Structure 1
Amino acid sequence: MQIVRTPADLRAAMAAWRKAGLRTALVPTMGALHAGHLALVAEARRRADVVAASIFVNPKQFGPNEDFARYPRDEAGDAAKLREAGCALLFAPEVGDVYPPGFATSVKLAGLPDVLCGAARPGHFDGVATVVTKLLATARADVAVFGEKDWQQLAIVRRLAADLDLGTDIVGAPIVRDGDGLALSSRNAYLSAEERVAAVALPRALGEAAAALQAGDDVAAVLDTARGRLAAAGFGPIDYVALVDGATLVAIGAPTPGARLLAAAFLGRTRLIDNLAV
């Protein structure tokens, strides 16, 4: 597996693959890789001849009181996992390679970033949109694979790729879960043993809510019940439990094709997110 550090080297490697007639895929990550990330690589390999992954802990998507400094980093371990998973290239830049002196551009979408996680984390999705736009424009991959666990991020990336005609097909890969149902996340490492046991209340509350919605129960009552179950399990504050249109993220009053049930809440100091199709 080749490792490159600069956007110019990533661009050159991807261009060489395209010139050779190969279909290319990109898997953007922030590292601290787990089975969920490796499932993205597997999906990318199903859709392309060669796969590049990126590892970049993007400072522009962290707020001033968030966990940028303590976000887990293990490039050597991550590189070994990617090599074993069949990645052909790892793009692992430094912050100065992505945002050199004088960098003054930000990518901001209207609407989608302002709700749900965006309301709780102002500016977060501007940072996501900026770095993803740079990655997609530099790599020019045929396909890029993102996880469905961060559904709002996936919706934003799909929108910006379409709006800016970036030429990359954006694919969402299903959430990978532990045996008890908790969605895999790099931030799960922050949970204490007791919190890890309590965390399963999040997927359970969403599963029960999804079943109730599919049975025709009142949406507001179902969402209130889910919030109550999270609070009883020790979650708080609860940023949201919402039923939305999967593409627009607009709250809806009844399940419709493509609807998504989403939640975000703190368990101790750790913010967890999850979602289900309804």
Structure 2
Amino acid sequence: MQVYEKRLDIMSCVATFSTQKKSIGFVPTMGALHRGHLALVQQALNENDKVVVSIFVNPTQFNNTEDLVNYPRTLDSDIELLSGISKDIIVFAPTPKEVYGDETISTNYNFGGLENEMEGKFRPGHFDGVGTVLKHFFTIVSPTRAYFGEKDFQQLQIVRKLVDIEKMSVKIVGCPIFREESGLALSSRNKRLNQQQLEVSPLIYKTLKQVKKDFGIKSVSKLNEWVSTQFENHNELRLEYFEIAKVSDLKTIKRKQKNKKYRAFIAVFAGEIRLIDNIALN
């Protein structure tokens, strides 16, 4: 397996693929890989001649310094996991200096308001960091297709907007959420959950499934109230937000309209560990 740390080295590698007219699939990750990541990688392998996986904990998308410090970093085991799928995967594991140069700062983006909803309300500057690092990676890797999980559905929509803004040719592919048997959405942060938190966290998806079931018969306000009651006075889980939003612009709604697509979005703290999830409602 080829592992590159230097920008110029991997650019030279992918330039060879372009010359040979080979398609390149790209899976950007922050490491601490799990089966959800591996599902993205497998889809990329199925649909492209070559696959690049980046492993990079991006400092500019963390608005919480403690979260950045505590984010799991498991490069050796990540490479071992990837090699179990295919020895032909190319790994790009740069330092911040290789990605950003001498100044690790974000570009300020206008994503048409997508950045101000849900995650944007609680994580100021987060999507500027996401957009900035992905612009760097898309420039370095020159992928044909890039793969993102729908667990971060807001991010997925913003990445599509980024490609339009920057006029890049990469095709953005959204992939279904990968879950534990319990229903808990797989996340690198799950590795930080203790046993008790792992046992109660499936309530998040259970709640979303009930919202989906009731979406056609209950009002938005009633659903909002019901979700709040599920987490009131819970010993292990604290609701940060629950919102029902239009898929097109991610605007929170107060009432439903015909011929519109909606998703429910949720963020919950299990102790100090923040978990997010979402579900299509119609």
Taking structure 1 as the reference length, the TM-score comes to 0.94
Per-residue deviation, residues 49-102 of structure 1 (Å, max 9, x unmatched): 111000000111112444111111111110111122225200000111112214
Structure 1 segment 228-239 matched on structure 2, within 5 A? 228-234=229-235, 237-239=238-240
How big is the shift at 1:235? 5.7
* CA 1:41–1:104: 2 relative to 1, 3 Å: closer
Shift of 1:241: 0.8
> Secondary structure in 1 aligned to 2:67?
coil
Q: Where does 1:2-81 land on structure 2 (aligned, <5 Å)?
A: 2-81=2-81
1:29, 1:53 within 8 Å by CA — same for their partners in 2?
yes
CA deviation after TM superposition for structure 1 residue 19, in Å: 1.1
Are 2:204 and 1:202 aligned? Answer: yes
The one-letter amino acid paired with 2:158 is I
Equivalent pair of 1:7/1:138 in contact (CA under 8 Å) = yes
Residue 166 of structure 2: aligned partner: 164
Q: CA deviation at 1:177?
A: 0.4
Deviation, 1:109, is 2.5
Is residue 221 of structure 2 the alignment partner of residue 220 of structure 1?
yes
Asked whether the 8 Å contact 1:198–1:233 carries over to 2, the reply is no
1:241-266 deviation digits (Å, cap 9, x = unpaired): 11112231112322755321110111
Choose 104-113 or 29-38, whichever is displaced more.
104-113
Q: Which of 141, 146, 149 is residue 147 of structure 1 equivalent to?
A: 149
Aligned 8 A contact 1:51 1:89 in 2: yes
1:13-41 Cα offsets, whole Å, 9 max, x none, are 11111211211110000000000000000
Greater CA drift, 223-232 or 266-275: 223-232
* Aligned mates of 2:63, 2:53 — CA distance in 1: 25
Match of 2:245 in 1: 244
* Alignment-derived partner of residue 271 in structure 1: 274
Please state how far the C-alpha of 1:163 moved relative to its aligned partner.
2.1
Give the direction of change, closer, same or farther, for the CA distance of 1:235–1:109 in structure 2 (3 Å limit).
Answer: farther
| Secondary structure of 2:14 counterpart | helix
How far apart are residue 118 of structure 1 and its match?
1.1
Q: Residue type of the partner of 1:249?
A: L
Taking the aligned partners of 1:39 and 1:196, their CA distance within structure 2 comes to: 22
Q: How far off is 1:104 after superposition? A: 5.5
Does the 8 A contact of 2:144 with 2:171 survive in 1?
A: yes
1:193 is the counterpart of 2:230: no
In 1, are the aligned partners of 2:263 and 2:279 still within 8 Å (CA)? Answer: yes
Write the distance in 2 (CA, Å) between the matches of 1:99 and 1:163: 20
The equivalent residue for 1:258 is 261
Count of residues paired in the alignment: 277
Contact 1:6 1:93 in 2 (8 A): yes
Counterpart in 2 of 1:136?
138
1:6 to partner: Cα distance? 1.9
The range that moved more, 165-174 or 233-242, is 233-242
Q: Is the 8 A contact 1:261 1:276 kept in 2?
A: yes
Counterpart selection for 2:178 from 151, 176, 182: 176
Aligned to 2:208, the other structure's residue is in SS state helix
Partner SS for 1:151: helix
CA contact (8 A) 1:176 1:184 kept: yes
Matches of 1:28 and 1:74, distance apart in 2: 15
List structure 1 runs of 4+ shifted beyond 4 angstroms: 102-105
How far apart are the structure 1 equivalents of 2:74 and 2:105? 29
1:7, distance to aligned residue in structure 2 (A): 1.9
Q: What are structure 2's unaligned runs of at least 5 residues?
A: none
Q: What's the RMSD between the two structures over aligned residues?
A: 1.7
Using the aligned pairs only, state the percent identity.
35
- Specify the SS of the correspondent of 1:244: strand
